[in-house]
Amino acid sequence: MLFLKMIKACSFHGLSKTGLILSLFFYSSLFAGEPALQKPQVYSNQENITGWVMSEKLDGIRGYWDGIRLYTRKGIPLHPPPWFIKNFPPFPLDGELWSKRGNFEFIQSVILDQTPGEGWKHITYNIFEVPNEKGDFLFRLNRARTWFESHKNTHARIIPQIRIKEKSDMEAFLKEIESMGGEGVIIKNPDMPYHTGRSPHILKVKNFQDMEGVVVGLNKGKGKYKNIMGSITIKLKNGITFKLGTGFSDKIRHTPPQPGSTVTFKYYGFTKNGIPKFASFLRMRQD
């Protein structure tokens, strides 16, 4: 219906056929919808991962390049400076917009700003997949590597992939990443063709689990947190609600996530009532 109204409006104002097409393209780009991407499952320690590849799980904002522009994992259009995406290919890429470990709030504030600022100079695009390309994983990734070898862009990088000879290789790598403040490891079956959705052939490995929930209430603190936020009440997708009171900086306690916003927290299993154990706040998500 909205497209029909646009067509009538364009005809009324004498807009050319080319202008109409460009207008419709612009309109559709604003409402592109959530892209169909790969999603990892959680490593259960039961899988045979010999021969798989591993890489660090970067704690940034996922960026999907559709051959024309960048989007978040939810399909929100991003607004990087033109120089940041200079020489990007005409084919899709999937990667992480990132700066350094433990810097998520800065990354998010820079990337989700509709007016690109100087912060983009500290952001890199770390590529871990070439969607819809034929061939196995390393063959697909090599297409991106080959492209950027002849189309230089200092902010585009290919995430190194390390072959797993035995499970102890992955365990040692995870320990190394976590010792440096990293979040975890992604392991992937390199022989699989490209596919979308949650997959048993792509696994995230961490010593804790994480989950998202929606804030439904703010609770005042006591003692040193008197007159500021002491905890937030979170509602999970399954309808369970609980209070989350640890992991917050003083800054966040003074300006807490508001009801309706989405937060990520880490936890270590569940109670018999389905409440996440030892839950601790990680970050607010806006992507």
- What CATH number is attached to the domain comprising 146? 3.30.470.30
Whether 29 shows a pLDDT value over 80: the answer reads no
Which stretch of 17-21, 107-111, 145-149, 259-263 has the lowest confidence by average pLDDT?
A: 17-21
Predicted local distance difference test score (pLDDT) of residue 23: 39
131/157 Cα distance (integer angstroms): 16
Return the CATH number at 276: 2.40.50.140
152 and 280 housed in the same domain:
no
- Stretch 7-30: mean pLDDT: 41
Q: pLDDT band at 32, cuts 50/70/90?
A: low
Residue 228 lies in a domain: yes
175 and 92 housed in the same domain:
yes
Residue 4 lies in a domain: no
Q: pLDDT band at 15, cuts 50/70/90?
A: very low
57 is catalytic: yes
129: helix, strand or coil: strand
Residue 24 lies in a domain: no
Final residue before a domain boundary, out of 176, 205, 234: 205
Predicted local distance difference test score (pLDDT) of residue 109: 93
Residue 12 lies in a domain: no
Q: pLDDT band at 261, cuts 50/70/90?
A: very high
Predicted local distance difference test score (pLDDT) of residue 11: 41
104 and 225 housed in the same domain:
no
Q: pLDDT band at 105, cuts 50/70/90?
A: confident
Which stretch of 30-39, 92-101, 168-177 has the lowest confidence by average pLDDT?
A: 30-39
Predicted local distance difference test score (pLDDT) of residue 285: 84
Other beta carbons less than 10 A from residue 127's beta carbon: 21
Final residue before a domain boundary, out of 170, 205, 240: 205
Q: What is the mean pLDDT of the chain?
A: 88
Q: Among the options 5, 17, 57, 226, which is catalytic?
A: 57
Q: pLDDT band at 269, cuts 50/70/90?
A: confident
109 and 164 housed in the same domain:
yes
| Inter-residue contact 97 to 120 (CB < 8 Å) | no
| Inter-residue contact 52 to 91 (CB < 8 Å) | no
Residue 147 lies in a domain: yes
42 and 149 housed in the same domain:
yes
188: helix, strand or coil: strand
Final residue before a domain boundary, out of 158, 173, 205: 205
The dihedral over CA atoms of 12, 18, 20, 21, expressed in degrees to the nearest 10, equals 160
Other beta carbons less than 10 A from residue 65's beta carbon: 24
Residue 258's domain comprises: 209-285
Tens-place pLDDT, residues 203-247 = 999 888 889 999 999 999 998 898 899 999 999 999 999 999 999
Residues 6+ apart with CB under 8 A from 73: 34, 35, 37, 62, 64, 287
168 and 232 housed in the same domain:
no
Which stretch of 16-30, 91-105, 135-149 has the lowest confidence by average pLDDT?
A: 16-30
Tens-place pLDDT, residues 138-168 = 999 999 999 999 999 999 999 999 999 999 9
Which stretch of 16-25, 97-106, 159-168 has the lowest confidence by average pLDDT?
A: 16-25
191 and 241 housed in the same domain:
no
Reported residue count of the chain is 287
123/85 Cα distance (integer angstroms): 12
Whether 9 shows a pLDDT value over 80: the answer reads no
Residue 146 lies in a domain: yes
Predicted local distance difference test score (pLDDT) of residue 209: 83
Residue 15 lies in a domain: no
194 and 280 housed in the same domain:
no
196 and 244 housed in the same domain:
no
Tens-place pLDDT, residues 180-202 = 989 899 999 999 999 999 999 99
Residue 2 lies in a domain: no
Number of domains in the chain: 2
Question: Which of the two residues, 277 and 31, has the higher pLDDT score?
Answer: 277
